[in-house]
Copies of this chain bind each other. A is one copy, B any other.
Amino acid sequence: MIQAKPDDELVFLPLGGSGEIGMNLNAYGFGPPDARQWIVVDIGVTFGREDATPGIELVLPDPSYLEEERENIIGIVLTHAHEDHIGALGWLWPRLKAPVYATPFTAALVREKLRERGLLEKVRLTEIPLKGKLTLGPFEIDFVTLTHSIPEPNGLAIRTPLGMVWHTGDWKLDPDPLIGETTDEAQLRAMAEEGILAMVCDSTNVFVEGHAGSESDVRVKLKQVIAGCKGKVAVTAFASNVARIESAIKAAHTCGRTVCLVGRSMHRIVAAAKGVGLLADAPDLIDEDEAGALPDENVLYLCTGSQGEVRAALSRIARGDHRNVVLRAGDTVIFSSRVIPGNEAAIHTLYNQFIERGVELVTADDEMVHVSGHPGRDELKQMYQWARPRIAVPVHGERRHLLEHMKLAESLQVPEALAPSNGDLIRLAPGPATIIDEVPSGRLFVDGNVIVGAEDDALRDRRRLAEQGAVSVSLAIGERKNALLAGPNVSVRGLAAGDEEDMEAALDDLEAAAKAAYAKLGPADREDDDLIEAALVRAVRKAAEKVWGKRPLVDVSVLRI
């Protein structure tokens, strides 16, 4: 390990995930303030909300600060393969262009993302073995195996000349995770012995008392529940939880059922898992046609769509418009999943549809068919007891989670605790942990092919179009005296009328308003298209407001003949 120079600093910069659930983007910098070297840890997405950002599926952390530091980024290190940790890589890598490091399962899913974005040949992606080591400039990184709800969850022990950061990533303490090893208590104790400067830690479940519970408990329970089912069984779970998928497959086998995967991401994850040797001894899976030919009591469907996503498999089955899968009275759907806040209404719609057709439902409210992948308070306490960091840095949560986590750390006698917001540049050493700068941070939106900023007019206009509708006005003006040769023509979108006659009358009103506005313009004004447009927009919007009680977006097009 190199020696720190007097003006070297170790800094931590969260740019996503500190103040929100999802969209993690973190960076560690080392060196003098004017010449830091950076590693980026995780680069995830969150999902758009149709009400706030219609038409947006993916939301990315704004990496503009790191983009400016691009020359000094020596690596992007990924802790695990959840979308909120790797989902933005394909979109943001071209702005950062650093080599990428991940363990095999994560790397397999990352490769797919890069291929989709045409980046596979461009990105240097290095596989790190489980429990592997990686040296990047002044950073010596140990991958520490943890337990979570996906294969290969890694914490990162990041040693620097100014001390070690223990970056947990997402974790829980699962005494029997089914896939992968348990948390290596001995290693954590050894790290603590060596001295942990700062622990940057998952806050998701800081409000949850006790422990998350074990995947192995869910496996036992799933077997019991499925054994009691008579007709067809469908299990829905988060596809990335390979242990859960294995549990469903094994439970099915025990109960004389064969598993059929339904939904694209189930197939995708199972392929990735098999690619790294997981699910090796799982019984054969069958396709939807084969499943349809089996007696009801010999089938188990493993489906995407636990959150009520309208286009996912489960919603289509619930609505009765899935091509191959039909569930009826006497069949059972097991929700081996949680309700992500905000999805209640969509999930209740699923429940209603299934119940209406007599399908039995089993949810985590009824039986322990799901456990969280994040640490409850007792697990957090245990981790602090093992790690004994000098500084607690809660990340991965909304403000209320981070501040509660900070209180918890303080109650556990951690000497320093600091709950950062995205964009806070924190000096971890030397000296006490301090926010030394605030750098640009925020959200970007993947809008079709284009990445747009949160303040983009396009997004604002689309919200307005959604609520108020649109009016288009066009008119043709001749060279001589700017005479009106044709129009104004008016058409509307997203504005309703009682019937066709009402609509005709409304359009007549708007055309009359546009015409009158043009008539009122003086000869000089009629030379100026901008003035004409402004006058007509005003007049037409006013007329529209009278008709509809709405303020639509109005576009005016002046054609000069």
Residues of A within 8 A of B (CB): 19, 49-52, 54-55, 341-342, 344-345, 348, 351-353, 355-356, 398-400, 403, 447-450, 452, 456-459, 461-463, 465-470, 472, 474-476, 485-487, 489, 491, 493-498, 547-550, 553, 555, 557, 559-561
Q: Which of B54, B448, B456, B462 contacts A549 (CB 8 A)?
A: B448
- Asked if B399 contacts A355 (CB within 8 A), the reply is yes
Copies in the complex: 2
Least distance between A265 CB and chain B CB atoms (Å): 21
C-alpha gap A323/B560 in the complex (Å): 49
Task: Look across to chain B and name the residue whose beta carbon is closest to the beta carbon of A490.
Answer: B557
Q: Which of B341, B344, B470, B561 contacts A486 (CB 8 A)?
A: B561
C-alpha gap A496/B447 in the complex (Å): 8
Q: Which of B356, B449, B465, B486 contacts A493 (CB 8 A)?
A: B465
Point out the residues of chain B lying under 8 angstroms from A458, CB to CB. 469, 493-496
Closest 8 CB pairs of A and B: A448-B549, A466-B466, A55-B467, A54-B466, A449-B549, A474-B474, A458-B496, A50-B51
Point out the residues of chain B lying under 8 angstroms from A54, CB to CB. 51, 54, 463, 466-467
- Asked if A491 contacts B450 (CB within 8 A), the reply is no
With contacts A466-B462, A466-B466 known, is A355 near B403, CB below 8 A? yes
C-alpha gap A470/B50 in the complex (Å): 17
Least distance between A453 CB and chain B CB atoms (Å): 9
- Asked if B399 contacts A474 (CB within 8 A), the reply is no
Task: Look across to chain B and name the residue whose beta carbon is closest to the beta carbon of A460.
Answer: B494
Known: A342-B342, A458-B494, A472-B472. 8 other contacts (CB 8 A): A54-B54, A348-B398, A448-B548, A458-B496, A466-B466, A476-B485, A486-B561, A489-B559
- Asked if A456 contacts B486 (CB within 8 A), the reply is no
- Asked if B469 contacts A466 (CB within 8 A), the reply is no
With contacts A449-B548, A465-B465 known, is A555 near B50, CB below 8 A? no
Point out the residues of chain B lying under 8 angstroms from A494, CB to CB. 458-459, 461-462, 465
Point out the residues of chain B lying under 8 angstroms from A468, CB to CB. 55
Point out the residues of chain B lying under 8 angstroms from A353, CB to CB. 399
The winner among A355, A549, A559 for most chain B CB atoms within 10 A is A559
Least distance between A359 CB and chain B CB atoms (Å): 11
Least distance between A458 CB and chain B CB atoms (Å): 4
Task: Look across to chain B and name the residue whose beta carbon is closest to the beta carbon of A345.
Answer: B342
With contacts A54-B54, A449-B549, A548-B448 known, is A469 near B474, CB below 8 A? no
Task: Look across to chain B and name the residue whose beta carbon is closest to the beta carbon of A445.
Answer: B496
13 contacts across the A-B interface (CB closer than 8 A): A54-B466, A54-B467, A55-B466, A55-B550, A348-B398, A355-B400, A450-B497, A458-B496, A459-B494, A465-B493, A472-B472, A489-B559, A493-B553
- Asked if A547 contacts B496 (CB within 8 A), the reply is no
- Asked if B450 contacts A496 (CB within 8 A), the reply is yes
Point out the residues of chain B lying under 8 angstroms from A560, CB to CB. 486
Point out the residues of chain B lying under 8 angstroms from A465, CB to CB. 462, 465-466, 469-470, 493-494
C-alpha gap A348/B342 in the complex (Å): 10
Task: Look across to chain B and name the residue whose beta carbon is closest to the beta carbon of A467.
Answer: B55
Point out the residues of chain B lying under 8 angstroms from A548, CB to CB. 447-450
Point out the residues of chain B lying under 8 angstroms from A467, CB to CB. 54-55, 462
Task: Look across to chain B and name the residue whose beta carbon is closest to the beta carbon of A547.
Answer: B449
Least distance between A400 CB and chain B CB atoms (Å): 5
Least distance between A88 CB and chain B CB atoms (Å): 17
Least distance between A76 CB and chain B CB atoms (Å): 23
Point out the residues of chain B lying under 8 angstroms from A461, CB to CB. 469, 493-494
C-alpha gap A497/B553 in the complex (Å): 19
C-alpha gap A448/B468 in the complex (Å): 9
Point out the residues of chain B lying under 8 angstroms from A52, CB to CB. 50
With contacts A54-B467, A458-B494 known, is A474 near B559, CB below 8 A? yes
Least distance between A141 CB and chain B CB atoms (Å): 32
C-alpha gap A400/B461 in the complex (Å): 39
- Asked if B403 contacts A486 (CB within 8 A), the reply is no
With contacts A450-B498, A465-B493 known, is A400 near B348, CB below 8 A? yes
Least distance between A120 CB and chain B CB atoms (Å): 20
Point out the residues of chain B lying under 8 angstroms from A561, CB to CB. 476, 485-486, 561
Point out the residues of chain B lying under 8 angstroms from A547, CB to CB. 449
C-alpha gap A549/B91 in the complex (Å): 15
C-alpha gap A400/B360 in the complex (Å): 11
C-alpha gap A547/B342 in the complex (Å): 32
The winner among A485, A486, A557 for most chain B CB atoms within 10 A is A557
Task: Look across to chain B and name the residue whose beta carbon is closest to the beta carbon of A447.
Answer: B496
Point out the residues of chain B lying under 8 angstroms from A487, CB to CB. 557, 559
Q: Which of B51, B469, B550, B559 contacts A475 (CB 8 A)?
A: B559
Point out the residues of chain B lying under 8 angstroms from A448, CB to CB. 548-550
C-alpha gap A51/B463 in the complex (Å): 10
- Asked if A459 contacts B51 (CB within 8 A), the reply is no
The winner among A342, A459, A553 for most chain B CB atoms within 10 A is A342
Task: Look across to chain B and name the residue whose beta carbon is closest to the beta carbon of A559.
Answer: B486
